[in-house]
Amino acid sequence: MSEKKKFYITTAIAYTSRKPHIGNAYDIVLADMIARYKKMMGFDVFLMTGSDEHGQKIEEYATKAGISPKEYVDGVSGEIKGVWDSLNTSYDKFIRTTDDYHEKTVQKIFNKLYEQGDIYKGHYEGKYCVPCESFFTASQLVDGKCPDCGREVIDSKEEAYFLKLSKYQDKLIEYIESHPDFIKPESRKNEMINNFLKPGLSDLCVSRSTFKWGVPITTDPGHVIYVWIDALSNYITGVGYDPDGSSDQYKKLWPADLHVIGKDIVRFHTIYWPIILMALGEPLPKQVLGHPWVLVGEDKMSKSKGNVIYADELAARFGVDAVRYYLLSEIPFTQDGTITYESFIAKFNTDLANTLGNLVNRTIAMTNKYFGGKVSFKNSDDELDNDLIKTAQNTVKSYYSLMEEYHNADACDAVMNLARRCNKYIDETAPWALAKDEANSERLSTVLYNLLECIRMLGVMLSPIIPQSAEAIFAQLGTDNTELEFSAVCEYSVNEAVALFARLDANKVLEEIAAEEKAKQEKAQKSAPENVTSLAEISIDDFLKVELKTATIVKCEPIPKAKKLLKLTLDDGSGKERIVASGIAKWYTPEDLIGHTVIVVSNLKPAVLCGVQSNGMILAADCAEDTVKVIFADDIPKGSKIR
């Protein structure tokens, strides 16, 4: 028997600054789906994920928490593993960049590159973004801020070591152009070539000396090896690479067949990482897949915006497979996808409960009711049967093609279309009507057999996507046949029908979520220091940090299930609408407010209140017991700054 072909797949390692949200979790869910599919296709698969645990940001978080950086990353790394496990992901190894073997190998990699002249010592002076851990020149900034995340940058001047990117620039361009599948999607490849490679690469800073939490350079302990070499090298250190002699596992697995990463770190994985490998004399990974983001509505997920959704909490509420299915079916190949509780519930009910769950449940139930659970194919040549079988066969062809190209959302849609066709087939053949006449027994048996065989094929195709539900389908069918072709030669002996997905009451669930959010806010308020009669004095510098502007209320409406809140749409003269949720519904109706000009705290950090992202706060006064009055400024033009 021939040896299985290997498939080594990795995710980007998660940064241990905070617990990962559902957008971060898309990496591992997508990689797990691909890994399961490749196993289904007969590959010997190795999936590696992990956590990135060094850097200035982590050192700062640990200091604020009053613990050591190692204690801090131990906790967050544990949370990352917990989230990954809650999503039923089948990784083979979880690497941590604080693992002793990784740190030692990273030091060897750095020394090798330095000794052969690919790294040199110099000085860096420029702009630095702490959250992104990236250096930029002044010309690279956008409106004076980080071009990647939009945050403020700081001036940085320090002694540093640099990697000679420019030395390998032409070689990398030639490689990318001669390997058209190296970067996917195509748009990411064009961006890398046109925006970074062709304009010319600057040498890359690969050490830091202004903080200590990192891998020390053995020959210069005042410096730590920077993230580009430390974190990126995990893909080879985790499987046994060593400059002094690599393991058999490394020789078997490398080069990686696929790096699964977010679109925001494509540059690091398709420019910095290949050049590091070229300098080491190692093969490049076969492909880098830069997937899009998961947004909340139209916004990137951010704790500061108060719009973070956590994957493990979502799985605990709706089920693991519901979360996996949403992510894999709603995130397009090239464009960002979105998630809200409303869209999640709608997708759950439409696809999982109504289409798939209903199909499986009623087909199994009818098989038990009409034939005691046992049916077989009875040689029909009915046009409806032929159309259903042809649809199933065409679906399999589409599924293979889409999964091979990692077009998972389209693959999910193709599979669900077959499930919809099966439901239509039930309506067309009306098994309940056939069951009324004994003469239709063979026809009824064939109809149910066709449905069961299509459901089995659905289970096979869904097994990389929603594995627990696929197992439940096979259990109800009483089969372990995973062939992806329609067969008319077996007999089904099904088990009891058990609902795969119970339809959700959207209003009830949203009310529960709103109540939980409210309870969290009240708990946070109770834990805050009690109000005092006299507040502490502040300096003029502190006061000047508050930006007060006038804005006209152009629209006002109640917020469902939030008795105290009104949703105000403001025009502050900026050309963009500003939404503010204000707790004044007890004292004002929308009609009382529309058209008035108010004063708004315009630089208040956004917060989500009962599902509405509030961007600011309007000024109001406590005039008497249980009486609040909004401060109107109708005689002041909108957009005026209050000084």
Assess whether pLDDT exceeds 50 at residue 195: yes
Q: How far is CA 110 from CA 220, 267, 470, 607, in A?
A: 11, 21, 46, 44
Assess whether pLDDT exceeds 70 at residue 367: yes
Contact 79, 85 (CB under 8 A): no
Length in residues, the chain: 643
Q: Is 612 helix (H, G, I), strand (E, B) or coil?
A: strand
Assess whether pLDDT exceeds 90 at residue 625: no
pLDDT of residue 443: 94
Query: How many whole angstroms separate alpha carbon 35 and alpha carbon 26?
Result: 14
Across 270-284, average pLDDT: 98
DSSP letter (8 states) at residue 142: B
Query: How many whole angstroms separate alpha carbon 95 and alpha carbon 239?
Result: 10
Residue 21 CB neighbour total at 10 angstroms: 21
In tens, the pLDDT along 426-442 reads 999 999 999 999 999 99
pLDDT of residue 571: 86
Choice among 38-42, 344-348, 502-506, 540-544 with the minimum mean pLDDT: 540-544
Closest CA to 241 of 288, 181, 285: 285
pLDDT of residue 608: 66
**Residues 460, 464, 465, 471, Cα dihedral to 10°:** 50
- Strand partners of residue 44: 6
Query: How many whole angstroms separate alpha carbon 210 and alpha carbon 203?
Result: 20
Across 165-184, average pLDDT: 96
What is the DSSP track for 20-81? Answer: --HHHHHHHHHHHHHHHHHHHTT-EEEEEEEEE--SHHHHHHHHHHTS-HHHHHHHHHHHHH
Q: Identify the sign of the CA torsion 459, 461, 463, 469.
A: negative
In tens, the pLDDT along 559-601 reads 876 667 888 898 888 878 888 888 888 778 887 888 889 898 8
Task: Tell me the two tokens of residue 452.
Answer: 């069961």
- Strand partners of residue 121: 161
In tens, the pLDDT along 457-478 reads 999 999 999 999 999 999 999 9
Instruction: Assign 41 a pLDDT band (cuts: 50, 70, 90).
Output: very high
Who has greater pLDDT, 62 or 334? 62
Whose structure tokens read 């709603």?
330
pLDDT of residue 138: 79
- Strand partners of residue 15: 52
Our measurement of the distance from residue 145's CA atom to the centroid of its chain's CA atoms, rounded to an integer in Å, reads: 25
Who has greater pLDDT, 363 or 551? 363
Closest CA to 342 of 571, 526, 504, 499: 504
Assess whether pLDDT exceeds 50 at residue 66: yes
In tens, the pLDDT along 528-557 reads 444 434 445 565 555 666 888 898 888 888
- Mean pLDDT of the chain, nearest integer: 90
Query: How many whole angstroms separate alpha carbon 495 and alpha carbon 365?
Result: 9
Closest CA to 204 of 173, 170, 161: 161
On the CB side of 355, how many CA atoms lie within 13 Å of its CA?
18
Assess whether pLDDT exceeds 80 at residue 618: yes
Cβ-in-10-Å burial (0-12, 13-18, 19+) of 631 comes to: exposed
Which helix (H) or strand (E) is 422 found in, with range? helix 408-429
Task: Tell me the two tokens of residue 111.
Answer: 């020394």
pLDDT of residue 619: 87
In tens, the pLDDT along 301-341 reads 665 566 789 999 999 999 999 999 999 999 988 888 999 99
Assess whether pLDDT exceeds 90 at residue 83: yes
E strand intervals along 130-250: 134-136, 154-163, 183-184, 204-205, 207-208, 215-217, 220-225
Query: How many whole angstroms separate alpha carbon 220 and alpha carbon 242?
Result: 21
In tens, the pLDDT along 211-228 reads 999 999 999 999 999 988
- Strand partners of residue 158: 124
pLDDT of residue 123: 87
pLDDT of residue 531: 43
Assess whether pLDDT exceeds 90 at residue 74: yes
Query: How many whole angstroms separate alpha carbon 49 and alpha carbon 11?
Result: 5
E strand intervals along 186-255: 204-205, 207-208, 215-217, 220-225
Assess whether pLDDT exceeds 80 at residue 298: no
Amino acid at 79: E
